Structure 1
Amino acid sequence: MSTTQSERLRELLEPLVRSQGLDLEEIAVDAIGRKRVLRVVVDSDEGADLDRIADVSRALSAKLDDSDAMGQGEYTLEVGTPGAERELKEHRHYVRATDRLVRFQLTEGAGSELTARILKVDDEGVDVEVPGVKGRKPTARRLAFADVVKARVQVEFNRKDKKDMKEEEEA
Protein backbone atom coordinates (compact mmCIF):
# COMPACT_ATOMS: atom_id res chain seq x y z
CA MET A 1 0.00 0.00 0.00
CA SER A 2 1.23 3.50 -0.79
CA THR A 3 2.56 5.58 2.02
CA THR A 4 3.57 8.93 0.56
CA GLN A 5 1.22 11.58 -0.73
CA SER A 6 2.98 11.53 -4.12
CA GLU A 7 2.42 7.78 -4.45
CA ARG A 8 -1.28 8.14 -3.53
CA LEU A 9 -1.64 10.96 -6.03
CA ARG A 10 0.08 8.89 -8.73
CA GLU A 11 -2.36 6.01 -8.12
CA LEU A 12 -5.30 8.40 -8.34
CA LEU A 13 -4.18 10.46 -11.35
CA GLU A 14 -2.19 8.09 -13.57
CA PRO A 15 -5.23 6.24 -15.00
CA LEU A 16 -6.83 9.57 -15.88
CA VAL A 17 -3.65 10.85 -17.57
CA ARG A 18 -3.31 7.60 -19.55
CA SER A 19 -6.95 7.87 -20.65
CA GLN A 20 -5.99 11.22 -22.21
CA GLY A 21 -3.24 9.48 -24.25
CA LEU A 22 -0.38 10.82 -22.11
CA ASP A 23 2.21 9.38 -19.74
CA LEU A 24 2.42 10.65 -16.17
CA GLU A 25 6.12 11.44 -15.86
CA GLU A 26 6.35 13.14 -12.49
CA ILE A 27 4.30 14.34 -9.51
CA ALA A 28 5.63 16.71 -6.87
CA VAL A 29 3.94 18.50 -4.00
CA ASP A 30 5.88 21.53 -2.80
CA ALA A 31 5.11 23.92 0.02
CA ILE A 32 5.70 27.55 -0.85
CA GLY A 33 5.06 29.55 2.26
CA ARG A 34 1.56 28.67 3.39
CA LYS A 35 0.46 27.46 -0.02
CA ARG A 36 1.06 24.14 -1.67
CA VAL A 37 1.77 23.54 -5.33
CA LEU A 38 0.97 20.22 -7.03
CA ARG A 39 3.18 19.89 -10.10
CA VAL A 40 2.21 17.24 -12.63
CA VAL A 41 4.49 16.51 -15.60
CA VAL A 42 3.00 14.69 -18.59
CA ASP A 43 4.33 13.69 -22.00
CA SER A 44 3.71 11.35 -24.94
CA ASP A 45 5.62 10.01 -27.93
CA GLU A 46 4.05 12.76 -30.05
CA GLY A 47 4.60 15.42 -27.43
CA ALA A 48 1.89 17.34 -25.63
CA ASP A 49 0.59 20.58 -27.12
CA LEU A 50 -1.16 23.30 -25.15
CA ASP A 51 -4.64 22.00 -25.96
CA ARG A 52 -3.81 18.54 -24.59
CA ILE A 53 -2.21 20.08 -21.49
CA ALA A 54 -5.34 22.21 -20.91
CA ASP A 55 -7.63 19.18 -21.35
CA VAL A 56 -5.68 17.00 -18.92
CA SER A 57 -5.38 19.90 -16.48
CA ARG A 58 -9.17 20.32 -16.38
CA ALA A 59 -9.68 16.57 -15.96
CA LEU A 60 -7.09 16.36 -13.16
CA SER A 61 -8.59 19.36 -11.39
CA ALA A 62 -12.07 17.81 -11.44
CA LYS A 63 -10.70 14.47 -10.18
CA LEU A 64 -8.81 16.17 -7.35
CA ASP A 65 -11.90 18.21 -6.40
CA ASP A 66 -13.89 14.96 -6.09
CA SER A 67 -11.29 13.35 -3.82
CA ASP A 68 -9.56 14.31 -0.60
CA ALA A 69 -6.10 13.50 -1.97
CA MET A 70 -4.84 17.05 -1.39
CA GLY A 71 -6.63 17.52 1.92
CA GLN A 72 -8.64 20.58 2.85
CA GLY A 73 -5.98 23.28 2.41
CA GLU A 74 -5.51 25.47 -0.64
CA TYR A 75 -3.19 24.34 -3.41
CA THR A 76 -2.31 25.30 -6.95
CA LEU A 77 -2.28 22.70 -9.73
CA GLU A 78 0.43 23.12 -12.37
CA VAL A 79 0.44 20.76 -15.35
CA GLY A 80 3.28 20.85 -17.87
CA THR A 81 5.76 18.90 -19.96
CA PRO A 82 9.31 17.84 -19.08
CA GLY A 83 10.94 20.77 -20.87
CA ALA A 84 13.78 21.11 -23.31
CA GLU A 85 16.59 19.79 -21.14
CA ARG A 86 14.76 16.78 -19.75
CA GLU A 87 16.58 14.05 -17.88
CA LEU A 88 16.24 10.64 -19.49
CA LYS A 89 15.22 8.02 -16.93
CA GLU A 90 12.90 5.56 -18.65
CA HIS A 91 13.37 3.58 -21.87
CA ARG A 92 10.58 5.63 -23.51
CA HIS A 93 12.50 8.84 -22.70
CA TYR A 94 15.48 7.61 -24.72
CA VAL A 95 13.21 6.63 -27.62
CA ARG A 96 11.63 10.10 -27.58
CA ALA A 97 15.12 11.64 -27.61
CA THR A 98 16.15 9.87 -30.82
CA ASP A 99 17.99 12.35 -33.09
CA ARG A 100 18.60 14.67 -30.13
CA LEU A 101 21.95 15.66 -28.64
CA VAL A 102 22.35 14.20 -25.14
CA ARG A 103 24.99 14.62 -22.43
CA PHE A 104 25.72 11.25 -20.84
CA GLN A 105 27.38 10.81 -17.47
CA LEU A 106 28.92 7.36 -17.62
CA THR A 107 30.26 4.85 -15.13
CA GLU A 108 33.99 4.90 -14.42
CA GLY A 109 34.69 1.96 -16.74
CA ALA A 110 32.88 3.56 -19.67
CA GLY A 111 34.49 6.99 -19.35
CA SER A 112 33.18 9.89 -17.35
CA GLU A 113 31.16 12.09 -19.72
CA LEU A 114 30.10 12.09 -23.35
CA THR A 115 27.91 14.32 -25.49
CA ALA A 116 26.43 12.52 -28.47
CA ARG A 117 23.35 12.28 -30.69
CA ILE A 118 21.05 9.30 -30.12
CA LEU A 119 20.60 7.36 -33.35
CA LYS A 120 18.85 4.19 -32.21
CA VAL A 121 17.48 2.73 -28.98
CA ASP A 122 16.86 -0.92 -28.10
CA ASP A 123 16.32 -2.87 -24.89
CA GLU A 124 20.02 -3.02 -23.96
CA GLY A 125 21.22 0.49 -24.80
CA VAL A 126 21.66 3.23 -27.37
CA ASP A 127 23.62 3.72 -30.56
CA VAL A 128 24.99 7.25 -30.62
CA GLU A 129 26.98 9.49 -32.92
CA VAL A 130 29.75 11.46 -31.26
CA PRO A 131 30.25 14.77 -33.10
CA GLY A 132 33.61 15.25 -34.77
CA VAL A 133 36.01 17.80 -33.34
CA LYS A 134 38.06 20.23 -35.43
CA GLY A 135 36.87 19.00 -38.82
CA ARG A 136 36.96 15.29 -37.98
CA LYS A 137 34.06 13.08 -38.95
CA PRO A 138 31.53 11.99 -36.31
CA THR A 139 32.07 8.52 -34.84
CA ALA A 140 29.54 5.86 -33.90
CA ARG A 141 29.49 4.38 -30.41
CA ARG A 142 27.35 1.95 -28.49
CA LEU A 143 26.32 2.74 -24.89
CA ALA A 144 24.78 0.08 -22.66
CA PHE A 145 22.11 1.35 -20.26
CA ALA A 146 24.15 -0.22 -17.44
CA ASP A 147 27.00 2.22 -18.24
CA VAL A 148 24.76 5.33 -18.15
CA VAL A 149 24.58 7.02 -14.75
CA LYS A 150 22.68 10.07 -15.98
CA ALA A 151 21.54 11.42 -19.35
CA ARG A 152 20.09 14.84 -20.16
CA VAL A 153 18.90 16.27 -23.49
CA GLN A 154 20.87 19.32 -24.60
CA VAL A 155 19.33 22.42 -26.14
CA GLU A 156 20.52 23.03 -29.70
CA PHE A 157 19.89 26.46 -31.12
CA ASN A 158 21.14 25.60 -34.59
CA ARG A 159 19.85 22.03 -34.67
CA LYS A 160 19.33 20.61 -38.12
CA ASP A 161 16.08 18.79 -38.70
CA LYS A 162 15.95 15.35 -40.30
CA LYS A 163 15.36 16.82 -43.77
CA ASP A 164 18.53 18.97 -43.57
CA MET A 165 20.60 16.01 -42.30
CA LYS A 166 19.31 13.77 -45.12
CA GLU A 167 20.16 16.42 -47.74
CA GLU A 168 23.71 16.67 -46.34
CA GLU A 169 24.14 12.89 -46.53
CA GLU A 170 23.00 12.86 -50.15
CA ALA A 171 25.36 15.69 -51.15
Structure 2
Amino acid sequence: MVYYRSQVENIAKKLCAEQHLALYDIEEKMSAKGRIITVYLTKIGGVTVDDCAYFSRALSDELDELDIIPERYFLEVSSPGLERVLKLKSHYASAINEKVAVQWTEGDEKHSAMGTLIEVNADTITLDDRGKIVEINFKDINRAKTVFLDKERSEKKR
Protein backbone atom coordinates (compact mmCIF):
# COMPACT_ATOMS: atom_id res chain seq x y z
CA MET A 1 0.00 0.00 0.00
CA VAL A 2 3.05 2.23 0.28
CA TYR A 3 2.80 3.64 -3.22
CA TYR A 4 -0.95 4.31 -3.15
CA ARG A 5 -1.43 4.95 0.59
CA SER A 6 -1.06 8.71 0.23
CA GLN A 7 -3.66 8.73 -2.56
CA VAL A 8 -6.12 6.71 -0.44
CA GLU A 9 -5.41 8.98 2.53
CA ASN A 10 -5.96 12.15 0.48
CA ILE A 11 -9.26 10.86 -0.90
CA ALA A 12 -10.37 9.77 2.60
CA LYS A 13 -9.47 13.19 4.06
CA LYS A 14 -11.44 14.96 1.32
CA LEU A 15 -14.49 12.77 1.93
CA CYS A 16 -14.16 13.26 5.70
CA ALA A 17 -14.22 17.03 5.26
CA GLU A 18 -17.33 16.76 3.08
CA GLN A 19 -19.06 14.49 5.61
CA HIS A 20 -17.96 16.30 8.81
CA LEU A 21 -15.80 13.39 9.93
CA ALA A 22 -12.12 13.07 10.84
CA LEU A 23 -9.72 10.45 9.54
CA TYR A 24 -8.20 8.65 12.54
CA ASP A 25 -6.07 6.03 10.80
CA ILE A 26 -5.74 3.72 7.82
CA GLU A 27 -4.45 0.17 8.25
CA GLU A 28 -3.68 -2.45 5.67
CA LYS A 29 -3.19 -6.16 6.12
CA MET A 30 -3.14 -9.27 4.01
CA SER A 31 -5.48 -12.15 4.75
CA ALA A 32 -6.34 -15.44 3.10
CA LYS A 33 -9.11 -13.67 1.17
CA GLY A 34 -6.83 -10.82 0.00
CA ARG A 35 -5.80 -7.30 0.96
CA ILE A 36 -7.91 -5.59 3.63
CA ILE A 37 -7.85 -1.81 3.91
CA THR A 38 -9.43 -0.53 7.12
CA VAL A 39 -10.28 3.15 7.50
CA TYR A 40 -10.98 4.46 11.00
CA LEU A 41 -13.15 7.56 11.40
CA THR A 42 -13.95 9.82 14.35
CA LYS A 43 -16.19 12.77 15.04
CA ILE A 44 -17.39 14.67 18.05
CA GLY A 45 -20.26 12.73 19.58
CA GLY A 46 -19.13 9.49 17.96
CA VAL A 47 -19.32 7.86 14.56
CA THR A 48 -22.55 6.05 13.68
CA VAL A 49 -23.07 2.94 11.57
CA ASP A 50 -24.76 5.18 8.98
CA ASP A 51 -21.68 7.46 8.92
CA CYS A 52 -19.48 4.44 8.22
CA ALA A 53 -21.79 3.04 5.54
CA TYR A 54 -22.13 6.36 3.71
CA PHE A 55 -18.38 7.00 3.87
CA SER A 56 -17.60 3.44 2.74
CA ARG A 57 -19.81 3.77 -0.36
CA ALA A 58 -18.27 7.14 -1.27
CA LEU A 59 -14.68 5.96 -0.78
CA SER A 60 -15.30 2.70 -2.61
CA ASP A 61 -16.81 4.57 -5.58
CA GLU A 62 -13.82 6.93 -5.80
CA LEU A 63 -11.25 4.13 -5.46
CA ASP A 64 -13.02 2.09 -8.15
CA GLU A 65 -13.22 5.08 -10.47
CA LEU A 66 -9.55 6.03 -10.04
CA ASP A 67 -8.40 2.38 -10.04
CA ILE A 68 -5.31 3.16 -7.94
CA ILE A 69 -5.17 -0.18 -6.10
CA PRO A 70 -3.91 -2.73 -8.62
CA GLU A 71 -5.02 -5.93 -6.91
CA ARG A 72 -8.24 -7.14 -5.33
CA TYR A 73 -8.99 -5.56 -1.96
CA PHE A 74 -11.66 -5.38 0.71
CA LEU A 75 -12.58 -2.06 2.29
CA GLU A 76 -13.65 -1.83 5.93
CA VAL A 77 -14.76 1.42 7.58
CA SER A 78 -15.10 1.70 11.34
CA SER A 79 -14.63 3.92 14.36
CA PRO A 80 -11.43 3.23 16.31
CA GLY A 81 -13.60 2.23 19.30
CA LEU A 82 -13.61 3.23 22.94
CA GLU A 83 -10.23 1.62 23.49
CA ARG A 84 -8.20 2.85 20.56
CA VAL A 85 -4.52 2.51 19.75
CA LEU A 86 -2.52 5.73 19.93
CA LYS A 87 0.11 5.96 17.18
CA LEU A 88 0.28 9.53 15.92
CA LYS A 89 0.74 12.70 17.94
CA SER A 90 -2.71 13.73 16.76
CA HIS A 91 -4.09 10.55 18.36
CA TYR A 92 -2.50 11.52 21.67
CA ALA A 93 -3.76 15.10 21.39
CA SER A 94 -7.30 13.84 20.80
CA ALA A 95 -7.02 11.71 23.97
CA ILE A 96 -6.11 14.51 26.40
CA ASN A 97 -8.11 14.10 29.65
CA GLU A 98 -8.80 10.44 28.86
CA LYS A 99 -7.48 7.39 30.68
CA VAL A 100 -4.58 5.82 28.75
CA ALA A 101 -2.28 2.82 29.21
CA VAL A 102 1.31 3.26 28.02
CA GLN A 103 4.21 0.83 27.76
CA TRP A 104 7.67 2.24 27.13
CA THR A 105 11.35 1.37 27.40
CA GLU A 106 14.10 3.54 28.88
CA GLY A 107 17.48 1.97 28.20
CA ASP A 108 17.06 -1.67 29.19
CA GLU A 109 14.14 -1.02 31.56
CA LYS A 110 10.54 -1.64 30.56
CA HIS A 111 7.84 0.49 32.17
CA SER A 112 4.08 0.76 32.07
CA ALA A 113 1.60 3.22 33.49
CA MET A 114 -2.09 3.90 33.33
CA GLY A 115 -3.40 7.35 34.04
CA THR A 116 -5.06 10.43 32.68
CA LEU A 117 -3.26 11.97 29.72
CA ILE A 118 -2.84 15.60 30.76
CA GLU A 119 -0.37 17.00 28.25
CA VAL A 120 1.11 16.34 24.81
CA ASN A 121 4.24 18.22 23.77
CA ALA A 122 6.58 18.00 20.78
CA ASP A 123 8.69 15.23 22.32
CA THR A 124 6.78 13.99 25.38
CA ILE A 125 3.43 13.09 26.89
CA THR A 126 2.48 13.61 30.52
CA LEU A 127 0.22 11.30 32.53
CA ASP A 128 -1.35 11.72 35.93
CA ASP A 129 -1.13 8.21 37.38
CA ARG A 130 -3.24 8.59 40.57
CA GLY A 131 -1.44 11.79 41.59
CA LYS A 132 2.01 10.76 40.35
CA ILE A 133 3.00 12.81 37.28
CA VAL A 134 4.79 10.70 34.67
CA GLU A 135 6.54 12.25 31.66
CA ILE A 136 7.32 9.86 28.78
CA ASN A 137 9.36 10.53 25.64
CA PHE A 138 7.52 9.68 22.41
CA LYS A 139 10.62 7.88 21.11
CA ASP A 140 10.49 5.49 24.10
CA ILE A 141 6.83 4.47 23.72
CA ASN A 142 6.26 0.88 22.56
CA ARG A 143 2.47 0.77 22.86
CA ALA A 144 -0.29 3.09 23.99
CA LYS A 145 -4.06 3.00 23.95
CA THR A 146 -7.03 4.67 25.54
CA VAL A 147 -8.72 2.69 28.28
CA PHE A 148 -12.43 2.59 28.89
CA LEU A 149 -13.45 2.00 32.48
CA ASP A 150 -17.14 2.05 33.15
CA LYS A 151 -18.24 2.95 36.69
CA GLU A 152 -19.02 -0.64 37.63
CA ARG A 153 -15.61 -1.95 36.52
CA SER A 154 -13.69 0.93 38.12
CA GLU A 155 -15.53 0.53 41.46
CA LYS A 156 -14.74 -3.21 41.53
CA LYS A 157 -11.02 -2.43 41.11
CA ARG A 158 -10.92 -0.22 44.22
Separation in 2, partners of 1:66, 1:32: 24
Relative to the length of structure 1, the TM-score reads 0.68
Separation in 2, partners of 1:37, 1:101: 30
Who wins on radius of gyration, i.e. which is larger?
1
Once the 2 structures are TM-superposed, how far is the Cα of residue 76 of structure 1 from its aligned partner? Answer: 2.4
Relative to the length of structure 2, the TM-score reads 0.72
1:166 matched residue in structure 2: none
Separation in 2, partners of 1:85, 1:25: 13
Bigger strand fraction:
2
Contact 1:107 1:147 in 2 (8 A): no
Once the 2 structures are TM-superposed, how far is the Cα of residue 34 of structure 1 from its aligned partner? Answer: 4.4
Alignment of 1:9-48 (within 5 A): 9-48=8-47
Letter in 1 for 2:147: Q
Contact 1:107 1:148 in 2 (8 A): yes
2:133 matched residue in structure 1: 141
1:83 matched residue in structure 2: 81
Q: Once superposed, what is the RMSD of the aligned Cα atoms?
A: 3.1
Q: For the structure 1 residues 159 and 106, does the alpha-carbon distance in structure 2 shift closer, same or farther, using more than 3 Å as the test?
A: farther
- Identity percentage over the alignment? 25
Contact 1:102 1:153 in 2 (8 A): yes
Separation in 2, partners of 1:100, 1:55: 29
The DSSP-based 3-state class of the residue aligned with 1:84 is coil
2:146 matched residue in structure 1: 153
Contact 2:86 2:145 in 1 (8 A): yes
Once the 2 structures are TM-superposed, how far is the Cα of residue 77 of structure 1 from its aligned partner? Answer: 1.6
Letter in 2 for 1:60: L
Q: For the structure 1 residues 107 and 37, does the alpha-carbon distance in structure 2 shift closer, same or farther, using more than 3 Å as the test?
A: closer
5+ long unaligned stretches in structure 1: 132-138, 161-171
1:4 matched residue in structure 2: 3
Q: Give per-residue Cα distances to partners, 1:40-86, cap 9 Å, x unaligned.
A: 11223543222322221121122122110223x54322101112321
Q: For the structure 1 residues 88 and 30, does the alpha-carbon distance in structure 2 shift closer, same or farther, using more than 3 Å as the test?
A: closer
Once the 2 structures are TM-superposed, how far is the Cα of residue 142 of structure 1 from its aligned partner? Answer: 4.6
Q: For the structure 1 residues 92 and 36, does the alpha-carbon distance in structure 2 shift closer, same or farther, using more than 3 Å as the test?
A: closer
How many residue pairs get matched?
Answer: 150
Separation in 2, partners of 1:152, 1:62: 32
Contact 1:18 1:24 in 2 (8 A): no
2:127 matched residue in structure 1: 128
